[in-house]
Amino acid sequence: MVMDTEAWAADTPPGYATDTLPGQWVPDLLGRGFEYTTLHAGEDEDGPLCATLVRYVPEGPASPAEHGPRLRGRVAGLVGRAGARHPGPGAPVPAVLALHGWTDYFYNVELARYWTRRGYRFYALDLRRYGRSLRAWSTPGFTTDLSEYDADLEAAFAAIAADVGRLGDVVCVAHSTGGLIASLWADRNPGRFSALVLNSPWLETQGSWLVRNAAAGLLDPVARRRPKTRLKLPEVESYWQSMSREGHGHWDLHPLWRPRHAFPVTVGWLTAVMAGHAAVARGLDIHEPILVLTASRTRFGTVYDPEMLRADSVIEVDTVRQRAVGLGREVSVVRVHGAMHDVFASSLPARRAAYAALSRWAGGYLPAPEEPGRA
């Protein structure tokens, strides 16, 4: 994989992002127009913590590397029909904030371009201990409480507001575990997001609430005493195979941030996720409109199967769709035929269908940004 070495300092361990100064934006490895800033977040027992905010500024400085799917030349046709209207001087600036899933980070340049063409400022947040926020001393993905990410979200809101001047509506686009985190946060913080677009949100433990309750009973005592205890689970690379161009997919994936095998699962992290699932099962009361996109079917397996290119190999989509209707007051659910777990990283036909569904929903639920002269 080619990397933009200008984005990293010479004394930084290979694959780790370099911290920026507060408020400083530097070129990102995604290439032209992408920049990132470090959101410093204190320390934990392992060392300094941070989150990382990525922004897309199409007129920004060029960077040598360009990353994304092989089908880059078709991006304009895929996202170019959105009909963007851009805010005039002094008008509130609408923004999109994207959240990734487990063992993941932001890399989807198509998604950034889609929202930019709709007239939104696009940002993506790599949460603490993930992606650009991962450090050599970090326990990857670790947490004992999903509300720990509240600080990352608050820091992202503050950085976006400082960047745009006058912040308008903020739409959250969240994938998998990020969809769970965003849903719980939106429930606790009504009105902060104007809408949520949940891409295969992980809303229930595989095997139903019965499995979750049984597992929680066994794991909770261990999580309280030794939260970083690793569970002995098989290493599965089937989803990576369906995503990476080094396997059977279309995407350049960072080998440290989205490795072949998922991060080791700790007892503390799993109990935190199951607590989130339990909260969803009890029912949330999100006031803002929600769009949930999932694959049309699930295909589990420990070994790669070509069918995984056309199905979700990570979550049980039928269960997730059932849970989704209990997230809030106005929920739209769309099954995307031929999609994988990440519907916006699936095959080109599935991505087209996903963006078309998103555009139809946005046309009804999201106000168009102000046209110049109307502020």
Are 276 and 151 a contacting pair, CB within 8 Å?
no
CA dist list (Å): 7 to 4, 17, 25, 152, 251: 6, 8, 11, 22, 20
Residues whose CB is less than 8 angstroms from the CB of residue 258 and which lie 6 or more positions away in sequence, other chains included: 103, 104, 105, 107, 131, 240, 243, 244
Q: What is the model's pLDDT at position 49?
A: 98
Q: Could you tell me the two tokens for 17?
A: 């992002």
Q: Which residues of the chain have pLDDT under 70?
A: 1-14, 60-89, 207-212, 214, 369-375
What is the pLDDT, as a whole number, of residue 86?
53
- Which of 269, 264, 274 is closest to 232 using CA atoms? 264
What is residue 133's predicted lDDT score, i.e. its pLDDT?
Answer: 98
Q: Which residue has the tokens 């929920």?
A: 331
101, 198 Cβ separation under 8 angstroms: no
Q: Which alpha helices (DSSP H) does the chain contain, by range?
A: 75-79, 109-117, 150-164, 177-188, 208-225, 238-243, 267-282, 317-324, 348-365
CA distance 325 to 241: 31
Q: Quick check: helix, strand or coil at residue 124?
A: strand
Distance of alpha carbon 123 from its chain centroid, rounded?
11
- The pLDDT tens digits for 31-77 are 999 999 999 999 999 999 999 999 999 974 434 334 444 333 333 34
Amino acid at 94: P
Structural domains present in the chain: 5-365 (3.40.50.1820)
| Per-residue pLDDT reduced to its tens digit, 100-156 | 999 999 999 999 999 999 999 999 999 999 999 999 999 999 999 999 999 999 999
